[in-house]
Amino acid sequence: RERLSHLSTISQALDLFRTARNIIVLSGAGISTSCGIPDFRSANGLYAQLQQEGKYELDDPQQMFDIHYFREHPEVFYSFAKQIYPSNFTPSPCHRWIKLLEDRGVLLRNYTQNIDTLESLAGVTKVLQCHGSFATASCLRCKTRAPGPTIEPYIMSSQIPYCGSCRQKRDAEMEAKKAYKAERRKARGKGKGKAKGWGSGSESEDEEEEDEWGGGEPGIIKPDITFFGQALDSEFDECLFKDREEVDLLVIIGTSLKVAPVSEVLTHIPHSVPQIFINLTPVAHVHPDICLLGDADSIVTWLSHELGWKIPPPAAVAH
């Protein structure tokens, strides 16, 4: 009986793939593990590795991606960042399967939590990188945005990049203040003996003014990957608001669904939309219509085979 219900689940999944026209694929780190990129929460995942290494003295491994911790200890993230910097990885069958859905005209959007950009490398264009990427980086102070590659040398050499725009702004302000102080000194010299009034500040007042810029170094630049404590780009809400009207199948793949708001996508989509969950391990807090447990690459390869679809080979992938 168990076998029969198992088979009917699979045939239902195949039917859903045959008929769906607007599929949302919600993906996570589990679709990139076969590329050699660890996920976060598995026993051999990044958080377990950070805990075992004990190198960074974190109270909790998630602090590595916490914006408050980053502001206090940017050197910790920058001594680690090269480990997660997208380098020479090749998309997995899962990434290429998402591309296949797009080529067949049935992908509404891929909401990925991954920052490895492997979906784009597989040629997927309808992808939203919900947790950002290394493609750009921004100054935490003046918000100036720069192309990601400008900070690549800092990441590779474990150094903290500081903002050039802030530095220029600070230098310009310091120059202006110097000129202003010189003017005031001149004016004081001329007006010696007159009563002190507004604008006749002492040297110590001038020194205080010098610190007005805020003191310290210019702003730290952080790659535009979303840290805990940072809001997602408004594009996430905008896309979801639009897509929820059109989606007819939700496929969740390779994610523990532990991080909001991405994990809440399930509740924002009408209940009438069927959900297929493909993952190595079960996730207790969600109850999808169909749960296919196992290696994601093997499952999508098998499904495609049954459907008579052909996953594009790695060679066809745009680099």
Does residue 226 bind ligand OAD (CB under 6 A)? yes
The answer to whether 24 and 247 have CB atoms below 8 angstroms apart is yes
Count of residues interacting with ligand OAD (CB under 6 A) = 25
166 is in an annotated binding site: yes
17, 20, 23, 39: which one contacts ligand OAD (CB under 6 A)? 39
Does residue 113 bind ligand OAD (CB under 6 A)? yes
Does residue 91 bind ligand OAD (CB under 6 A)? no
12, 42, 49, 90: which one contacts ligand OAD (CB under 6 A)? 42
163 is in an annotated binding site: yes
Q: How far is the CB of 117 from ligand OAD (least distance, A)?
A: 13
Backbone angles phi, psi at 262, to 5 degrees: -60, -40
* 23/34 Cα distance (integer angstroms): 23
Does residue 95 bind ligand OAD (CB under 6 A)? no
Residue at 224: amino acid letter = D
Does residue 29 bind ligand OAD (CB under 6 A)? yes
Does residue 25 bind ligand OAD (CB under 6 A)? no
Q: How far is the CB of 64 from ligand OAD (least distance, A)?
A: 8
For ligand OAD, the closer of residues 82 and 177 by Cβ is 82
The answer to whether 154 and 84 have CB atoms below 8 angstroms apart is no
Consecutive H or E run containing 317 = none
The closest residue (CB) to ligand OAD is: 30
* 166/173 Cα distance (integer angstroms): 10
* 77/92 Cα distance (integer angstroms): 27
> How far is residue 103 from each of residues 31, 98, 122, 233, 242, measured CA to CA in Å?
19, 9, 12, 27, 21
268 is catalytic: no
Q: How far is the CB of 83 from ligand OAD (least distance, A)?
A: 13
Does residue 255 bind ligand OAD (CB under 6 A)? yes
239 is in an annotated binding site: no
The answer to whether 311 and 301 have CB atoms below 8 angstroms apart is yes
* 22/126 Cα distance (integer angstroms): 12
* C-beta neighbour count of 82 within 10 angstroms: 14
Among 28-36, 76-84, 186-194, 204-212, the segment contacting ligand OAD (CB under 6 A): 28-36
Does residue 45 bind ligand OAD (CB under 6 A)? yes
Distance spanning both ends of the chain, measured CA to CA: 47
* 26/223 Cα distance (integer angstroms): 23
94 is in an annotated binding site: no
Binding residues, by number, are 139, 142, 163, 166
Catalytic residues: 131
Binding site for ligand OAD (CB under 6 A): 28-30, 33-34, 39-42, 45, 65, 113, 131, 226, 228, 254-256, 258-259, 279-281, 295-296
